[in-house]
Amino acid sequence: MQRKIITVALGVVLALGACAAYAGGSQPNDIRIGAYFVHYDSTATDITGPFTPPGLNTSIGSVTTLYLAYVRTLATHWQVEFAFGYPPVTYAKGKGPATVGSLPYNGKEIASIRWVSPTLLLEYAFFSPRAKWRPFVGLGVNYTRFIDRQITAAGAAISGGPTSISLPSSVGPAVTAGVTYRFSGRWHFTASYSVAQVNSRLTTDTAGILRSNKVHFWPNAAVVSVGYSF
């Protein structure tokens, strides 16, 4: 299913690229660089598995990372944005009792995860392309792949030893709203707020013992960027 969604998304990108060849305007391309301020309204089921006390949960720490995007104008009010960030390291923290046995748990960073999380958005921009202020809204798809998954020393102590982490990739919808302020012919600032649905199941393997919980990451990303149109 996930492979199908990715295939469809790639198809959309290619189709839009082809479509762009017919797009009007003298500056149909736009690249942006800025900062992602990502906060996770994460919810998760309690961790289950052998030798797991009840009530152990996880939360995800906020991150800030580099924002990069390519935006292609398709028509007067339509544009497609391909946004991505420098893969940030996010920390999963223990949530639940203060200690498990004599080991601290609540609030301890138990795992670090690096993400690759590109988002493809079809956006509707208001007002004229020449307007200084152009609010926009968009809808698209987010693909998140979790790489470089590492247990921390505290996580290994809690888990009971060296631990591998599995976190399958996620494909989900994403929405955005923002505004662009054009301060010269080709340069502009953009501020936006995006939410994506990122779900996965975190599974750990410690000495052959598997534990897991389902995590809804719900990343909320505030973005400020500067862009150049060409």
Partner 1 sequence: MMKKIGTLLCAMVLVGGIAGCGHNSQSGTVASTDRRGTLVNDPPLRVASLSASGLAAQLTAMPSGAALLQLAGAPVCGVDVYYLKYWTVAPDDSPQLASAALMVPTGSSSTCSGPRPIVEYAHGTATASTYDIADVSNPSNPASAESAIIAAVFAAHGYIVVAPNYLGYDISTLGYHPYVDGAENAIVMMDALTAARKALLSTFTPNTSDDGRLYITGYSEGGYVAMATVKAMQAAGETVTASAPSSGPYALEAFADAIFFGQVDIGATVFAPLITTSYQHAYGNVYSQTSDIYSPTYATGIDTLLPSTTPLDTLFQDGKLPESALFDSTTPTSSTGIAAVDTTADELLALPSSAQYGASLAALFDAGFGTPYLVNNSYRVAYVDDAIIHPDQAEMAILNHQALTSGDVALAASPSIGLRQDLNLNDMRNGGWAPEEPMLMCGGDEDPEVFFMNTQIMAAQWSAYLGTLVNVLDLNATPSGSFAQLQSAFQATYAGLVASEGASTAIQAYHTTEVPFCMVAARDFFGQVQ
Report if residue 150 touches partner 1, rule: CB under 8 A: yes
205 binds partner 1 (CB under 8 A): yes
Buried b (16+ CB within 10 A) or exposed e, 178-211: bebebeeeeebebebebbbbbebebbbbbeeeeb
Q: Could you tell me the smallest distance in angstroms from the CB atom of residue 161 to partner 1? A: 5
Backbone angles phi, psi at 117, to 5 degrees: -140, 65
Q: Is 208 in the site for partner 1 (CB under 8 A)?
A: yes
Instruction: Please give the Cα distance from 94 to 65 (Å, whole number).
Output: 23
Q: Which helix (H) or strand (E) covers residue 177, if one does? A: strand 170-182
**Which residue in 26, 101, 130, 185 binds partner 1 (CB under 8 A)?**
101
Question: What separation, in Å, do the N-terminal and C-terminal C-alpha atoms of the chain show?
Answer: 37
The single residue among 143, 172, 188, 194 that binds partner 1, judged by CB under 8 A, is 143
Choice from 147, 187, 193, 226 touching partner 1 (CB under 8 A): 147
Asked if residues 40 and 60 have their Cβ atoms less than 8 Å apart, the reply is yes
Q: Which stretch binds partner 1 (CB under 8 A): 36-44, 113-121, 123-131, 132-140?
A: 113-121
Q: Is 209 in the site for partner 1 (CB under 8 A)?
A: yes
Instruction: Report whether 118 contacts 171 (CB < 8 A).
Output: no
163 binds partner 1 (CB under 8 A): yes
Residues between 21 and 50 that touch partner 1 (CB under 8 A): 29, 31
Q: Is 118 in the site for partner 1 (CB under 8 A)?
A: yes
Output the smallest distance, CB 226 to partner 1, in A: 16
